[in-house]
Structure 1
C-alpha cells in the first residue's frame, strides 16, 4: 500500500516513504507476547530472550548495515504531516500491547515453574518492553492533549517512573547540558556513577518542581493534583492489583522489571548529552539550547523504533513537534552509532570512554575545559587533553556543584 501524498498550501506534494515502517516500535511488545506464547506451547525457555535479542543484537546489526537517513520532510509540509492522525495511532498501540506483555510476564513468573535463567529472561524481556515504553511515554507526554498525557502516565506506571514527565518537561528541558541537570552526563563520568545521581536527582527535582507549582496556586502538595503523587498511585494500584491476582511473589518480578526498564531509559539519557555544556553569557544566563547541546544519530532502524528520539536537538528546540516531523541538523554533534548499539558500550565504562571522550573534546575544538566535566576526573582530563586553564564549565564551581543562583536559563 502506497503512502498517501501530503500537500502543502502552496501546492508542494510529499510522500513519507517510511510511513508504515513507524510501526517498528510495536515489534518490541509484540515479541514479548510471542515469546510467551512460544514458551507456553513448547516449554523452551530460550524464547524469553527473543525481545532482548531483537533490541540489543538485531537492531544494532541493522543500524550498522543500513545507510543513515539524514533526510528531513519539507518544512512546508509540517502542518499536514502533524495533522495526520495515523502517526499518533502508532504511538497509541504501544501501551496496551505493553500491558499485555506485563500480564503475561507476571503469569509466567508465578505459575510457570521457571528456572532461574528463564526468570532472568522474563525480567529482561518485560523490562525491555517497559523501558522502551518510556520513550513512547516521552513522545506522548510532550503533547497537549489530555488523552495523550494520560496514555503517557499509564505507560510510565509499570516502570514506576511516573515522575519522569514532570522532571523531563519542566526540569531537564530547562537545565539541559548544565551541571545542575541530573539527566546530563558529565565527561569522564561512568554510567554507573551517573545512574544513582540521575535516578535520585530526577526524583528530587520532580518533587521540588511540582511542590512549587502547587504552592504557587495555593493547593496542597500531598494530593492527586500532584503529578508525582499521581504517578506513584498509578504504580501502586497496578502492582497491588497484580499482587492480588497472582500473589505477593509477583512483586519481585514487578520491581525487577521496573528497575531494568528505567535503567534503559537512564542509559539513553546518559548518551544524549554526554559531556556537552551550555556556556554562561555576560548577562549571567545560560545560552539558548541549540543543536550543539545534544548528541544525534541518523541510524534508521533505531530511529524508527524510538520515534526519532535520536533527532534529539530538534526535540529540545521544539518539544511539542511530533516525531514524524523532527529534523536532522548538520550542526549537531553526531554519535558513532544508534542508541541500541551505544547502550551496551555505556554499560562498559572503558569502552564508552574510548568511543566518546575524544569526540567530546573534538566537538569543543580541543579545549576540554569547555565541556561539562565530572568533578572527580576534572584534573585528569585537563592533564590528558592539555587543556588551557579556564573557568569551570557551564556555571559550576571547581567542585562541580552549581554556581550560586542555580539555573537561570
Structure 2
C-alpha cells in the first residue's frame, strides 16, 4: 500500500459574498480531488487542539500523526532542524521574519529618511513581498555581523523565514506572529516576558525589542532594500522575532506506522518536522512556498520517491496560506486549481498506472480565512480515497467545508492520521 497526503496549507475558509456565498474550495475547479471525494470519504477534522495557537507547527504535527500537546516545543526549533542547526538542550530558537513596516504619515515603506517612531510604524507585509532567499541572506548576514555574539546567532532560512538561536535561553515570552497583526502599529505588539539569556544585560523582553529596533536601523538603509524599493517591491526593513521554543524530541514515524516516507515542501518548518520524525525531505528546485512554485517539479519528486520504494509522501503546499495572508482571493482559488491539476493528477495517475494499492488524503493543516488574513482554529475538511475500497460515486461528496460537515468527524489530526494509515 502506498500513502499520499496532500496538504494545501490554509485552504479552509469561510463563505464569501462576492463568491455567491461560497468558499474558495467550493468555487475552485478541482476535478481530480473532487473525483476522489465522490468515490471516497469526506469529513471534518480538528487539527488544532483547544488552547493551542493555530499555527502550521501544531497543525502539521497533528496531520502527520503527532499530538501537539505532547510534542510541540515551538515553531522555530523545527525550522532550525531543517536548516541544520545542532541545538543543545538549553538553546532557544526564535523565528525571525524580515518584514515590511510602513510609515503611516507617508503611506510608504519606512527607510533611512523616516522620522516616525518605530512603535508607530505599521506592520504591512509579513513576507516582504516574498523576498528572495538570496536577497534575504545578505540582510540576515548584515544583522548577524552587527548583532550576533557568543550568546546570539542569526541563521538564514528561506525567503522571509529565518532563525535566531539564543544560548541558555528561556521561552517565557509573549511574542506575536506578524501575520496575525497585519495593518496594526508595531507598539501594541512588541515582546512581553522575561529571560532571553542569563546575565544582567538581558533579563526582559526589552532586549528582544531592542534587537528588532537595531535590525530596523540596519535594514532600512541596506542596499538590498534600496534596490527593492527602486523596483517597486516591498523592502524587508525590520526583523520580527517570535515562535520561540527548545529542541524537540519526536518519536520515530517508522516506529509509529511501520512505513518509510518523505516530506516535500518549500517550507523549513515541514522539513524540520520530517527530519525530527526520521522521515526524508526532498528539496525541489524552484519551490518557493507561494502560488508561483514549481508544481511540476514537486509532483515529479513525489513520483520518484514512490519509484525509489518509499511507502509514503507528504506533499505540503504553502501557496493557499500565503494568498490568504495577502488577501488574494483569486490567487487562493487559482492555487487550489493548480494543486489539483499539477500535483494531484500526475501523482495519482502514476499510482494508478503502477498497479499497487494506494490511499490518498487531502487535508489543509488549518484554515486561513481571507476575511481574517490569519489562521483560525476551526475544523477543516478532508478527502480520503482508498483505491481498494471505492465507494459508490456520489457527486454530493466534494472537497469543501459544507460537504465535509456531512461526513466523518475527527477530534484531532493525529486520530485522522491513525485512521488513514490503518493503525487500529
**TM-score normalised per structure 1:** 0.28
Q: TM-score when scaled to structure 2?
A: 0.27
More strand by share: 2
Q: Whose helix proportion is higher, 1 or 2?
A: 1
Higher relative contact order (CA 8 A, sep 6+): 2
